[in-house]
Amino acid sequence: MLNNLKTLPREARDTLFLLTVIAWIIAPQVNNLPVWCSVMAAAILMWRAYLAVRGLALPSRWWLLGLLLLATVATYATHKSLMGRDPGVTYVVVLLTLKTLEMRTRRDAFVIFFLGFFTLLANFFFSQSLLTAMAMLLGLLGLLTALVNSHMPVGRPPLMQAARTAAWMALLGAPIMAVLFVLFPRIAPLWGVPGDAMAGRSGLSATMQVGTIASLALDDSVAMRIRFDGAAPPMSDMYFRGPVLSTFNGRDWVPLQSAFGPRSQLGADLQVQGKPVSYQVTLEANNRPWVLVLDATPGKPDLPDMRVTMTPDLQWIANRPVSDLIRYKAQSYTAFQHGPLRMVTGLQDYLALPANYNPRTQQLANDIRNDPRNAGADTPALVTVVLERLRTGGYTYTLEPGVFGTHTADEFWFDRKMGFCEHIASSFVLLMRSMGIPARLVTGYQGGAFNGVDDYWTVRQSDAHAWAEVWVAGQGWLRVDPTSAVSPGRTGSFVRLEAPRGVIATALNTISPRFTINLRALWDAANNGWNQWVLNYTQSRQLNLLRNIGFESPSWEDLSYLLIGLIVAASLVGAAWTLWERHRQDPWLRLLHRATRLLRRAGLELAENTPPRQMATLLQARGATLQPICDWLLRMEAWRYAPHARAPQLATLQREFRQLPWPHRIP
């Protein structure tokens, strides 16, 4: 096959290379393209490759027109529109592949290159990760290589040559890119971004159906990164608060749907104690308005261009979804008290149970209440009893609890006796309510992994967690994590239930458990650096940069001035360089010219470009004192026109030039 490649005619080879690059650019987005589009693209690329290898003629325009029409109809049928991001991406991919069937003139080739650049960009709609960036850098280099190659009309130049030129251009272009990237003013979208901009990203859910978080636990992607301005709090205190779910309809947990009027609603009534923990959060886009912070955060997280408010159940909500990586600072207190201190009407909402669900759990609650040992027990004591039951009743923590039926709590308490945090927390809250204790479910993230490389804590989607809050008279809401009763390791240390590994990962882990951990730490650090410095480079950071440079109150106009100033400076440097280059001469010639000048000043009639031998002949006639100069000139000529003129010889001549007895006057 490789041999065949080497003997292919140049045109076929170039076409195959371009097709490979196009396939490389389209491949990462296959998951986001309609199936018909991926299949069509693959088929067309293979067809084109076949035509190229066999040296067959391209199909007629009618074919293309027909395919284009078909693709247009299919695009419309899939997306119900031809405008917007997703139809646009589909259409660009279709056009790019179809255009390869119409590569006749140089202009067609250019159209392919430019469509290729659009397709490159389309990748970033779906992922802006470091990995995507690296893959697309390779794609860009591939396209540039093909473009350079198409401008080498002579013979059959090796592709490596074009690749070298392309890489060289990208390398020299990188500083220009860096300056533009840092200084180009980040402005708001010029017109409304279609709503599909964030489709298909996972995160915590606004409602919870038992089983949802189990699937999240398998998702190893990063939810956020934290850096503490000092010592990190103990892992057992690292609860990042997400949506609080207080209403249960038998199947789903949803945010509070109160049976009472607004005046009966509970307030936050947050009181904090002790020393605050300060930290910085880099939150990945989750397309939700949730600003995740540690429990509990009384002060507003410092978000530059969002309005944030705290809900009565302590969650911080932004005025718009987090559709991009954001970074903010927050101060939290791990010791706090919140909620009403005495029984109020609003607490009735947290006792509500759907009718005809979980009868055995209700029975269990009654049994515990009526147990003589628990006679006169207060709420904390009852909670302890239930936690004790979880600890000793043969309950296990598992990622694969199976599908639950109608009475989820009953099944958990009596039949399966195993589950993931949401099963445990949900069953716990239902049992509490059955016992007449106000309780609610809190979702969020718990814990994280510390990365010693860059001092960041990484919180992954697999750290998603659900816990409970019970109301205790005189103390308000208290956090109870029933999961830690079942599996103490789930909270408080960094052991996690992990998704089953592949064969290689298992083998690697057996050989050197530290190796995979170190590798992952490095990769995380690289990714985090990427997020911090590239993806999260916003207008506020731009203006901060200006402030650091010395601008008093920077605005984006200042950015433009700085950018224009730099461009002008660069042009001046370029102009100076060309001026210098114009006057730059061959060092041999420069040396000869210096000699010529000296001899002319001494009165010898010489033309500006007299060759050294002629000068030597002229000098020889003028007396023996000039003999060293003659020899020097002849040596220069001999060395200059030797098969390999060498720098050391030039250096020798230059040294001798300074030592020669140059005459002041030649008779």
Partner 1 sequence: MQAALPHPVLHPLRHVRARANRWFQNRITPRDSVTLTQRNVYILPTAPGFMLGLTLLVLLVASINYQLNLGYVLTFLLAGSAVVGMHICHGTLRGTTMTLIAPDAQFAGANVTIGVNLLSQRRTPRYGIGLAVLGTDHWSWTDVPAQGSAKVQIAFQPPRRGLHPVPALTAETRFPLGTFRVWTVWRPAAKVLVYPAPETHPPPLPPGEPRPGGAATVQRQSTGEFDGVRTYRRGDPLKLVVWKKAAKSDELVSRDAQQVQRFELWLDLAHTGIAGTGAGGTNLEQALSRLCAWVLQADKQGLQYGLRLGSQEIAPGSGEAHRKNCLQALAQV
List residues binding partner 1 (CB under 8 A). 85, 106-107, 110, 114, 117-118, 120-121, 124-125, 128, 132-133, 136, 140, 144, 147-148, 150-155, 157, 161-162, 165-166, 168-170, 172-177, 180-181, 184, 187, 189-191, 193, 197, 323-324, 534-537, 578, 582, 586
To partner 1, the closest distance from the beta carbon of 105 in angstroms equals 11
To partner 1, the closest distance from the beta carbon of 541 in angstroms equals 11
Nearer to partner 1 (CB atom), residue 35 or residue 160: 160
Nearer to partner 1 (CB atom), residue 9 or residue 157: 157
Sign of the Cα pseudo-torsion (552, 557, 561, 567, in order) = positive
Beta-carbon contacts of 119 under 8 Å, excluding residues fewer than 6 positions away, are: 22, 25, 26, 92, 93, 96
To partner 1, the closest distance from the beta carbon of 148 in angstroms equals 4
To partner 1, the closest distance from the beta carbon of 147 in angstroms equals 6
Give the total residue count for the chain.
667
Tokens, residue 264 = 């009966």
DSSP-based helix, strand, coil % in the chain, nearest 5: 55, 15, 35
Nearer to partner 1 (CB atom), residue 43 or residue 176: 176
CA-based radius of gyration for the chain: 37
Nearer to partner 1 (CB atom), residue 36 or residue 530: 530
Cβ atoms of residues 413 and 361 within 8 Å: yes
Cβ atoms of residues 266 and 339 within 8 Å: yes
Three-state SS for 504?
helix
Beta-carbon contacts of 121 under 8 Å, excluding residues fewer than 6 positions away, are: none
DSSP secondary structure code for residue 82 in this structure: S
Nearer to partner 1 (CB atom), residue 583 or residue 655: 583
Tokens, residue 659 = 């030592």
Tokens, residue 599 = 């001899």
To partner 1, the closest distance from the beta carbon of 322 in angstroms equals 12
Nearer to partner 1 (CB atom), residue 259 or residue 534: 534
Nearer to partner 1 (CB atom), residue 22 or residue 365: 22
Three-state SS for 455?
coil
To partner 1, the closest distance from the beta carbon of 122 in angstroms equals 9
Nearer to partner 1 (CB atom), residue 36 or residue 125: 125
φ, ψ (nearest 5 deg) of residue 414: -115, -40
Tokens, residue 142 = 């591939």
To partner 1, the closest distance from the beta carbon of 149 in angstroms equals 9
Nearer to partner 1 (CB atom), residue 172 or residue 231: 172
Cβ atoms of residues 390 and 482 within 8 Å: yes
Cβ atoms of residues 379 and 328 within 8 Å: no
Parallel, antiparallel, or unpaired for β 418-419 and 396-397? Answer: parallel
To partner 1, the closest distance from the beta carbon of 113 in angstroms equals 8
Report the 3 state secondary structure along 381-439.
HHHHHHHHHHHHCCCEECCCCCCCCCCHHHHHHHHHCEECHHHHHHHHHHHHHHCCCCE
To partner 1, the closest distance from the beta carbon of 82 in angstroms equals 17
Nearer to partner 1 (CB atom), residue 133 or residue 268: 133
To partner 1, the closest distance from the beta carbon of 145 in angstroms equals 10
Nearer to partner 1 (CB atom), residue 151 or residue 655: 151
Nearer to partner 1 (CB atom), residue 190 or residue 375: 190
**Of the candidates 422, 414, 426, the residue with the CA atom closest to the CA atom of residue 397:** 422
Distance CA 545, CA 551 (A): 9
To partner 1, the closest distance from the beta carbon of 587 in angstroms equals 12
Distance CA 51, CA 389 (A): 72
To partner 1, the closest distance from the beta carbon of 169 in angstroms equals 4
C-alpha angle with apex 307: 301 to 312, nearest 5 degrees?
70
